[in-house]
Structure 1
């Protein structure tokens, strides 16, 4: 037979599956370069930081009294009140400086009364409490009985003159005048008191159109154990007219005042509809109520003791100065008070003028059911998403069921080899988490021995990138790479048995690509497990797991998946990663940075009895938190590194 004919027959008889391109001959650039991987890392980190700056650092321009007008909110006017209160120094309960602060608030409230709209009735009271006992069933003060007496509060009630029923339907706006004994309290909570005084001035010009009244409570005794709110809600004669509560707090100083508690759907929807600069995160509520942050607010009293629906707002920037001598007015960022002032004024004008708002509040208080609970979060500080918890549970269950069906069908089709590969990809997740935690924890133990300050990153949070972030990222890569190599060994056995006709170079190339795909898909498993647990325990922030699961999975299915069992795998496209990560980064990267900042700032309060706990404990807490965040957020990105050819 002629040589040409023999060659032609060989080509026709060779199966298509063996016609894979040899990477060393026709595709020399099949491995990703170091510059591409570095570029992807920079894009991811810069994108995350940009989202954080837009979402939490973009503050409105502050207005003076002339710019705000008679009915607007002026940060300059509110700052005048903050300036005076902080000039008094620390003013805890029982101090002369607190008496001066109360007198000042009362004097400003009297001025508001005299300048109110002529169709508005403003009533002012200085309330002295009787002796009382405060015992809470949960939170920071769980199981403790706190006794109090002779507390003084300033109450300012604003109602329309010609609508008597408004007096029986009040929206409570509350904050506290007192501080702890170590700080002048610019953030906690003079800033909130200043905002409330300016809000009261503006509301007093609008209240003639209201269907409900607004009651401003400037209480004392909050720092002693939420005693001020408790004494009002159990002793004052206006308490039975309150239908809804808004609490203003600070667990830091400055920045955006974020809505972090209050899951009643109708109230959240009302706030979302009118807030000029929405900032709301149910994830902060989940963390706060878990007890991870050792703090409490008056909102607990209004919910637990009075059964009131409501909303709770707090500043969370620079949490390291919370309850310290560094809580000073110079740290207040321009626009911080304007942000919460504009939001709250718009909300109060809308809710007090609505004929249905307090009807919903009264109905919720009587029913006290879970049906009105909601999930809420903002996107880039510009849009607020609110939907019911019932809808969230239905949607999550649907995604979980579909994911399990897809994985189950794929594993059945893949047989034993597919099941083993799936198990090894899951092992890579476990190894990734173990190594990512171990390396920064080692640094956490060493740090107190080589540094004169056990927590140097509190003063400069950027240090956590080098101290904990870098070793955590290295550990995550090492753990995932070990799983990648184990997976390659398994696939090598499979391909040598099922694809014996492949050349050595082609087989190794295909094994790399197949292992990379399994490692990428292991990220789906990681977030699916988190979504299942969050849905089962009804964690509001489970929406984050949903986005991190659905978006990359959709991008992978749209750009990478094939229904042909004959074709060999191809290299994952970079566009798959970029498209798949866009929605997760926009929706939650800023929150991840904020949570890291809150955890770092909270480390200074881990040891409530200085010297009672080891120096390394706070470092370990931060190291583990950073490692977990990196493992979950970098799982997809790291899967692109293992066949870079530069390792």
Structure 2
């Protein structure tokens, strides 16, 4: 690892940027208008390369959820993204760059027909191919120069990567290929130029790319904070775009060698075979999406819900996962447990909302008692000097881990105290989507009874809401979830039947295996 100060890096990077701009400016001035047009077309080829390289794998990303049993079928085998997204990205990059190559040849053909009319047709076409190949190669310098300029301007620490990918190939090209003679005919790019130019950048970047792919794949299976809230294709699109960008930037120099070689059809065939083989592996299940070592996280929670108007407990078993995809495969092993799944099975767990999951009411009335249901009791409600203040007693019963949401559209401020000790003092409270969330986790002897004092906002809607709506339509003022670390008989039965590639896993915001839900409406 080489460490140097940002000030030195800025000076060094600015020096390289200035030298690169001077070299390019001098080269374009010597080339005149034809050189300027060739430069513009080669830059257009870079843009086309990015567009095509992103479009093809994105199409695959949208199709995967409809073809494979799981929307993200490469979690257990991340190497499959090479075939699923890397192959289409590389093919798209070559197609886009080849379109620029063809446009560049058309321009060079008109230039050479005017400046060198004595050349034989075959000789001219060969020279044009070589000249276009060189412009495509040099366009990679422009691509990395832009990245280096942006990284230096925004003081990005990893901009040294762009520096390596710019300087090393540029030195190799300048040492082995460049000539200052405007009349000298171009020669074919040497393979040694590619090898010397890419040796250092590839060695310094490949490890980072592999780690980046692992991190992205590991993140897309847990990016959905509200299970079922994000489209199934989103994770695939993120991975495919990241792979496409890496392919474009790392293969820009290599692809310039392919356009005039006889290996274009071979390259396309190999990429298609790689993609087809990877797709067959994931769609058939030969390469499973999850294994015992890389399991799918599934939450099995016994829910006792008293948020209804009559506050009568409604007991059921909920099944959901933060990993994208339906629970169809899991239900095969849970067939006799009578689960119903869908996006209408919404549950507000206070810290998040389950927007897709499964419910089962079968045998859900055992393992808990009504004495464990938390209580939100209004002790007093008064108006002093035009300001409304409400004191609510919160009893979490047997739970020492709970989450509470307070409606900040109605409540301006609040305090929480146990006996005479205040746990939350008055002051500015943050809010997300109009709610302030409190999470509490205590030990075995932590308090279970709290006093919540609410200071109502003068801009709230509670005054007009009292007589304007039915009670069922009124918004909640408080939402409380209490967690109990207990496995009820029905939950134990479900956990036992889950496939081996599933594992119970909960985030810090997830409920335990037994959760009680209760709430208060604004018309208290």
Q: TM-score, normalised by structure 2?
A: 0.50
Distance (Å, rounded) in 2 between the aligned partners of 1:414 and 1:387 = 38
The residue number in structure 2 matching 1:170 is none
| Counterpart for residue 234 of structure 2 | 617
In the alignment, what sits opposite 2:214? 597
Q: In the alignment, does 2:79 pair up with 1:462?
A: yes
1:442 paired residue among 46, 59, 63: 59
Query: Would you say 1:585 and 2:186 are equivalent positions?
Result: no
Partner SS state of residue 4, structure 2:
strand
2:32 to 415, 431, 448: 415
Correspondent of 2:23 among 406, 415, 419 = 406
* Within-5 A mapping of 1:521-540: 521-540=138-157
The CA distance in 2 between the partners of 1:452 and 1:556, in whole Å, is 48
Say whether residues 1:386 and 2:3 are aligned partners.
yes
Take 1:490 and 1:645, find their aligned partners in 2: how far apart are those partners? Answer: 23
Q: 2:101 aligns with which of 467, 475, 484?
A: 484
Q: Give, in whole Å, the separation in 1 of the partners of 2:136 and 2:243.
A: 22
Alpha-carbon distance in 2 for matches of 1:391, 1:415: 36
CA distance in 2, matches of 1:522, 1:465: 25
RMSD (CA atoms): 0.7
Gaps of 5+ in 2: 265-524
CA distance in 1, matches of 2:206, 2:168: 14
Superposition pairs of residues 189-268 of structure 1, within 5 angstroms: none
For 1:307-318, list aligned pairs within 5 A. Answer: none
Q: Write out the 4+ residue segments of structure 1 that deviate beyond 4 Å after TM superposition.
A: none
1:11-46 deviation line (CA, Å, top 9, x unaligned)? xxxxxxxxxxxxxxxxxxxxxxxxxxxxxxxxxxxx
**C-alpha distance in 2 between matches for 1:422 and 1:586:** 29
Q: Which residue of 1 aligns with 2:353?
A: none
Which residue is equivalent to 1:545? Answer: 162
Q: Partner of 2:254 in structure 1?
A: 637
1:558 to 175, 180, 203: 175
More helix by share: 1
Match of 1:475 in 2: 92
Task: Indicate the SS of the match to 2:140.
Answer: helix
Residue of structure 1 equivalent to 2:487: none
Of residues 47, 55, 78 in structure 2, which corresponds to 1:430?
Answer: 47
Structure 1 residue 645 displacement after superposition: 2.7
Q: 1:466: Cα distance to partner?
A: 1.1
Distance (whole Å) between structure 1 residues aligned to residue 42 and residue 181 of structure 2:
22
Task: String of CA shifts for 1:296-339, please: whole Å, max 9, x gaps.
Answer: xxxxxxxxxxxxxxxxxxxxxxxxxxxxxxxxxxxxxxxxxxxx
- Residues 135-163 of structure 1 deviation map (CA, whole Å, 9 limit, x = unaligned): xxxxxxxxxxxxxxxxxxxxxxxxxxxxx
CA deviations over 1:191-235 (Å, ceiling 9, x no partner): xxxxxxxxxxxxxxxxxxxxxxxxxxxxxxxxxxxxxxxxxxxxx
* CA deviation after TM superposition for structure 1 residue 463, in Å: 1.1
Range 397-406 or range 594-603, more displaced: 594-603
Q: Considering fraction of residues, name the structure with more strand.
A: 2
Which has the greater radius of gyration?
A: 2
1:607 matched to 2:227: no
State how far apart, in whole Å, the 2-side matches of 1:596 and 1:498 are. 49
SS of the residue corresponding to residue 2 of structure 2 reads strand
Cα displacement (A) at 1:459: 1.2
Structure-2 separation of matches of 1:538 and 1:504 = 51
| SS of structure 2 residue aligned to 1:419 | helix
Q: Secondary structure, in 3 states, of the residue corresponding to 2:229? A: coil
* Aligned-partner Cα distance in 1 for 2:53–2:263: 21
In the aligned structure 2, how far is the partner of 1:509 from the partner of 1:596? 40
Aligned to 1:507: 124
Structure 1: stretches of 5+ with no match in the other structure: 1-383
Question: Normalization by structure 1: what TM-score?
Answer: 0.41
- How far residue 497 of structure 1 moved from its aligned partner, in angstroms, is 0.4
Question: When the two structures are aligned, how many residues end up with a matched partner?
Answer: 264
Is 1:493–2:110 an aligned residue pair?
Answer: yes
1:94-153 deviations in Å (ceiling 9; x for gaps): xxxxxxxxxxxxxxxxxxxxxxxxxxxxxxxxxxxxxxxxxxxxxxxxxxxxxxxxxxxx
| Distance in 2 of aligned mates of 1:557 and 1:521 | 11
> Residues 170-189 of structure 1: matches in 2 within 5 Å?
none
Q: Secondary structure at the match of 2:3?
A: strand
| Displacement after TM superposition at 1:646 (Å) | 3.9
Matches of 2:107 and 2:227, distance apart in 1: 53
Between the aligned partners of 1:639 and 1:601, the Cα distance in structure 2 is 33
